[in-house]
Structure 1
Amino acid sequence: MTAEYALKASLGLGTSCNVGSAGIDAKPQSMHTWVQDRLSEKGADLTTHVPRQLTKELVEAADLVIAMGRNHQAFVRERFGRDIPLFAQVCLGQDQPILDLHEVLPNWESDPAQARSYVCSVIDVIWTMAPALLPRLR
Structure 2
Amino acid sequence: MRKYAAMTAVVLALALAGCTPARGILADAAAQGRSAVRTAELALETEADGRAGFGVVPTALADAERELEDAAATAVEASAGTASERDLRAETLTALRAGQDAVAAAQQSLDGLEFAETAADELATAGNTLDELATAGGQ
Please give the TM-score of this superposition, normalised by the length of structure 1: 0.31
Which structure exhibits the higher relative contact order, with contacts defined as CA atoms closer than 8 Å and separated by 6 or more residues? 2
Who wins on radius of gyration, i.e. which is larger?
Answer: 2
Q: Which has the higher helix share?
A: 2
TM-score (norm 2): 0.31
